[in-house]
Structure formats: structure tokens, C-alpha cells
Amino acid sequence: MVFSSIMFLTRFLPLVLIVYFLVPGCMKNTWRNLVLFMFSLAFYAWGEPVYIWLMIFSTVVDYVNGGLAGYFVARDKRNTAKVFVGLSVVINLTLLAVFKYAGKFVLPIGISFYTFQSMSYTIDVYRGKAKAEKNPINFGAYISLFPQLIAGPIVRFSDIATQLRERTINLESIRYGMLRFVCGLGKKVLLANQAGEIFQTIANYKVSQMTTVSAWLGILAFMFQIYFDFSGYSDMAIGLMAVFGFEIPENFKYPYEAKSITEFWRQWHISLGNWFKEYVYIPLGGSRKGNARTFLNIFIVWFLTGLWHGTTINFTLWGLYFCFFLIMEKTWLLKLLDKIPRVFSHIYALVVVYFGWLLFAWEDIHGHRVYMKAMLGMAGAGVVNKESLYLLVSNALLMVIMAIGCTSLPKYLAKKVTKKDGIGASLCMSVYVAVILLLSIAYLVNGTYNPFLYFRF
């Protein structure tokens, strides 16, 4: 089940909200957490019931290991506590290795996300950044919360522990949450899906049919698709969590406005970057042990980042590609970018990211190689033909809308409207949200193309 489906929007979500808010506010949050836990298991089992045991197993393993780690840390027996932290890490990484990388099983949805959350809990308990959760319902809810279960954001236990035990829900958080959810739904359904159809149309061409213009347009469409797809999902996740009374960290901050690759990766998939920084880069020494060690640490992090996305050579090359630019910026390039006009540094960042998505778009090197030939004018259809010209012209307005949608301009304009007092401003926002929701539902009713790119990770 995905958020952008009629089943979720008209049946599952309304039922969850009704049951959740039927629990009296005077009762402990454990009861509401139980509702979320049970519905989250049902949400996960809807698509892949055979793998529900895998998530339950991971939850039990880290509940026990985290509890034991906390027990021994409290008694100053840190070496014993390390054993249980190690068990947590080994078991979760083994689950990933077997079910994601061995290639013998269908990839369980969300396994890359909930295993990282589980590991972070045990590690944070050992470090003293979080107390071990004694209530199994609260911990089960943390691991399985359906709003961010499948594609993040990756939420560390220390970010949400207090909210699991004590949180208040008010009309403002519900209003904000629903607004954020609908905006994310619109990003996904009205923009990402359209961009994805353009890319798939071009990617499905035979080599003899693909022109240089269509090849470049295809990657531009993919660049928009992956942003609106993933950031849209994150918006929906953050919105739903707000409705249930939780506040979780942002996952995107207009990355296509970045003026460097360093800045881009501080604004794209923020929760994954923070996870690798907190649990890999800093423990390895970060940038505290000289340039050679720093570059090695960056290499390890980006090799693992590529591996996290997939085992094929394309993802490895994608990780090392960005590793190269990050090291170059750390040594000398970032100083140069600070001196030149911002427009040129912005163009540099967009060009590097554009070719990075070219590596990311395929899971095999053959598809990438064939597409590169078309981009360089080495395909059979030449530079441009009537079909590619039609694709370019007919989608020009959509491309402009998506280019604007990637920036902070829409948010700036929305703030201008909402700052104004009175019925008019509220009415404008209400109409805006209603239109996005109705258009999204109408598209879902009639459309057939509705993938989520990050489900494959």
C-alpha cells in the first residue's frame, strides 16, 4: 500500500484517524501508540504479509539488545553493553545482506530504513543519548510507524522518545499536518508521476529511435521525478506524523538551490546523511585526523551510501562520483566557488547533480552506457526529430512549473498569503489545498503510472 493510492486515501487513513482519535486524550499515549503499532503492522502486511515477521523480528531483537545495553551501561559495565550493541548491528546488517543484497529474495519494503532506525536506537542507548525504552508497545510503534516506515525520513530514537511517552495533539498540528500531507501528495501525483512518464517514454525507446534532445530531456525529467517523488513522500510522512502529534526532522531543504555539492548533500535526504555522519563518519574520526584520514572516511561513507541504495555497479559509481566532488570541494574547489558569482556556482552544482542522476537512473551499466551514447549524439536517430521536438514542446510548461516547484519561491508566496489576516487568506489556502487534493484523487482514479522510486531501496 502506498500513500498515493485510493485504498489508502479513502479507506485505510480515515479508519486509522477515527480509531486513533476515539482514544480519549486523558488516557496514556501508550493506547494511541498501540493503535499506531497495530495499524502500522497491517499497513506493512497489506503489500508483503510474508515479510511482516522480518520487521517484528528486528523490533524484538533491538528491544532486547537495547534494554540489555542500557542495563549494563547503568551499572558501568560498558564492555558487556558493547556485546549487545554489536549483536544489534550484526543482526540488522545480516538481515540487509541476506534480504537486500543476496539477490535470492524479493526486497522487503522499507528494510533499509527500519534496520537503520533499529541500530541507531541501540547505539544511542549505549552512548547515553537515549534511555532504553521499557514499554514494548512504544518501541514497536517507533520502529513500525507507517508514515515513515517505507521511505523515511530515518528517525533516531533520541528525536522521538519523549514524544512517544508524552505528546499533545491540537487543531493547529492537525491542520498543519493535513496541509503538509496534501502538498506532498500533489508533488508526488501531479508532478513526479508526470515527470516519470516522460522519462519512461524516452528510456523505453530503442537506440535507433533515441535522439540527443530526447536523451537530455529524459534525464532532466528524471531529475525532477526523483525530487518530487522522494520529497513528496517525506512531506506526506511529516504531515501524517504531525496529525498524530509527532514532530520529526525535515528531510529536504530545496537541494536544487544548492551552490555546491557539499551544500546539496546537506539539503537532500538529510536523515540518511545525518545517520552516516553520526554512526559512521564521526566514529571513524571525521575530519579530526588529518587530510588523508578525512578523505578515506569520506570515501568509506560514500561507498556505503552507494551500497545502501543497491549492489549494482551503477550505485557504487554514483556514490564514488559524489565522493570525488566532495573531496575536491573540501581541498580547494569550495574556496573557488565562494569567490565566483553565485549563479555560476549554482550552475556547477546543477550540472554535477544532473550527471549524477544519469548514473542513478539505471540499475545496470549497460543501460547507462547506451543512454550516454544517445546523449553524445551517437544513437541512430540523430540530434532531433519530430517526435523528440513534440516531447520537448508539449512538456515545456510542465518543466517550467517543476523548475519553479523545486525552489523556495512557492513557500515564500504561501507565507505572504497566510500572513494576511482575515477570511480571504484562509479561504485562499483552503481552496488551494482542496484543488490539489481533488486533482490528485482524479489523477489516481484515471491514471495507471504511480511508482515510488525509493521503495526499491
Q: What average pLDDT does the segment 360-368 reach? A: 81
Task: Note the pLDDT tens digit of each residue in 168-188.
Answer: 888 889 999 999 999 999 999
Given 269, 309, 346, 368, the catalytic residue: 309
Query: Roughly how many angstroms between the first and final C-alpha of the chain, as a whole number?
Result: 16
Other Cβ atoms less than 10 A from the Cβ of 170: the count is 9
Q: How far apart are CA 80 and CA 101, in angstroms?
A: 31
Q: How far apart are CA 311 and CA 100, in angstroms?
A: 9
Angle formed at CA 251 by CA 140 and CA 440, multiple of 5 degrees: 90
Q: What is the pTM of this model?
A: 0.93
Contacts of residue 226, defined as CB under 8 A and 6 or more positions apart, other chains included, come to 192, 357, 360, 453
pLDDT of 365 reads 79
How far are the Cα atoms of 48, 109, 117 from residue 106, in angstroms, in the given order? 10, 9, 21
Q: What average pLDDT does the segment 290-316 reach? A: 91
Distance, C-alpha 61 to centroid of its chain: 25
Mean pLDDT across the chain? 89
One DSSP character per residue, 129-178 reads SSPPP--HHHHHHHHH-HHHHTT-----HHHHHHHHHS----HHHHHHHH
Burial of residue 107 (number of CB atoms within 10 Å: 0-12, 13-18, 19+)? middle
pLDDT of 206 reads 82
Considering only CA atoms, give the Rg of the chain: 23
pLDDT of 395 reads 94
pLDDT of 200 reads 92
Q: How far apart are CA 183 and CA 425, in angstroms?
A: 17
Q: Residue 297 above 70 pLDDT?
A: yes
Query: Taking a C-beta distance cutoff of 8 angstroms, is the pair 95, 136 a contact?
Result: no
Task: Note the pLDDT tens digit of each residue in 76-109.
Answer: 999 999 999 999 999 999 988 888 776 666 677 7
Q: How far apart are CA 363 and CA 310, in angstroms?
A: 8
Task: Note the pLDDT tens digit of each residue in 51-64.
Answer: 888 889 989 999 99
Query: Taking a C-beta distance cutoff of 8 angstroms, is the pair 256, 390 a contact?
Result: no
Q: What average pLDDT does the segment 353-370 reach? A: 86
- Look up cell 527500519; give the residue: 114
Contacts of residue 281, defined as CB under 8 A and 6 or more positions apart, other chains included, come to 297, 298, 301
Judged by phi (left if over 0) then psi (alpha if -120 to 50, else beta), residue 128 lies in left
Closest CA relative to residue 168, chosen from 36, 26, 38 = 26
Task: Note the pLDDT tens digit of each residue in 248-288.
Answer: 999 999 999 999 999 999 999 999 999 999 999 999 998 88
For the stretch 241-270, what's the b/e string if a residue is b when 16 or more beta carbons lie within 10 angstroms of its beta carbon? bbbbbbebeebbeebbbbbbbbbbbebbbb
pLDDT of 82 reads 94
Query: Taking a C-beta distance cutoff of 8 angstroms, is the pair 353, 223 a contact?
Result: yes
pLDDT of 372 reads 86
Alpha-helical (H) ranges within 361-451 are: 365-375, 386-394, 396-405, 409-419, 423-446
Q: Mark whether 346 is an active-site residue.
A: no
Q: What average pLDDT does the segment 366-380 reach? A: 81
- 431's grid cell: 481552496
Closest CA relative to residue 305, chosen from 285, 280, 330 = 280
Give the confidence band of 4 by pLDDT, cuts at 50, 70, 90: confident
- 66's grid cell: 537495547
Task: Note the pLDDT tens digit of each residue in 200-222.
Answer: 999 888 877 888 999 999 999 99
**How does DSSP classify residue 448?**
-
Other Cβ atoms less than 10 A from the Cβ of 58: the count is 22
Other Cβ atoms less than 10 A from the Cβ of 14: the count is 11
Query: Taking a C-beta distance cutoff of 8 angstroms, is the pair 12, 1 a contact?
Result: yes
CA quadruple 198, 199, 205, 210: dihedral positive or negative? positive
